[in-house]
Amino acid sequence: MASASTLRITEIFHSLQGESRTVGIPTVFIRLTGCPLRCQYCDTAYAFEGGELMELDAISAALAEFACDYVTVTGGEPLAQPNCLPLLQRLSDEGYQVSLETSGAMPIEQVDKRVSIVMDLKTPASNESDKNRYENIAHLKAIDQVKFVICDEKDYQWSKAKLDQYDLASRVNEILFSPSFEEIEPAQLAEWILRDKLKIRMQMQLHKQIWGSVAGK
């Protein structure tokens, strides 16, 4: 039975950060189980259910084995578990460089301010854009990042419009445009970005370039 200090964990693993501003840096990933969204391009559906109940003390002990400075809490949707918040606080207290990967469908205002939030805005082709919680944007900090996974030109134009609508460049450290894996040619997205002189970072998933679609990488 879950307790006030327990989370359901799908996996804890050591890899290279595949995305965001710390791409390429060795990082420990804590993948929480469960997600209320069903994005059509999801590559972690194995985390929708199952997992193992772990106490915060056990999670801390597992992290210490890796002797790694960077930790990413991901999912699923990690904020779907209320105890994600005390986990983030504890990791920050323990001195880790902590990032949180979230879909943008859950409130972020109570996330520890030391955590770098990597928040998606779901595009129309994800089939989950109606879940975007736009009120989260007001709670973003300079150390945070906003990510758009782009599947086609309609997604690109939609994402570009959101940059202006919410003046995202003035709010966050990084804006990330990522081509949906095997749905759009990266060169095509790059051409659009250069044509329109966007002040964003295009990112490709480094872990998939190295290992392909391998769980736990």
pLDDT tens column, 104-142? 999 999 999 999 999 999 999 999 999 999 999 999 999
Residue 20 burial (10 A CB sphere; 0-12, 13-18, 19+): buried
Kind plus residue range of the DSSP H or E element containing 140: none
Asked if pLDDT for residue 3 goes beyond 80, the answer is: no
For residue 173, name the pLDDT band (cuts at 50, 70, 90). Answer: confident
| High-pLDDT (> 90) share of the chain, % | 85
Asked if pLDDT for residue 217 goes beyond 60, the answer is: no
Asked if pLDDT for residue 26 goes beyond 70, the answer is: yes
pLDDT at residue 19, as a whole number: 85
What are the two backbone dihedrals, phi and then psi, of residue 210, each rounded to the nearest 5 degrees?
A: -85, -50
pLDDT at residue 1, as a whole number: 47
| Domain formed by 6-211, architecture | Alpha-Beta Barrel (3.20)
Q: What average pLDDT score do residues 23-34 get? A: 95
What are the two backbone dihedrals, phi and then psi, of residue 12, each rounded to the nearest 5 degrees?
A: -125, 125
pLDDT at residue 181, as a whole number: 85
pLDDT at residue 214, as a whole number: 57
Cis peptide before 76 (omega within 30 of 0): yes
pTM of the model: 0.92
pLDDT at residue 52, as a whole number: 96
Asked if pLDDT for residue 70 goes beyond 60, the answer is: yes
For 183-209, write each residue's pLDDT tens digit.
899 999 999 999 999 999 999 877 667
Nearest to 20 by CA among 217, 207, 216: 207
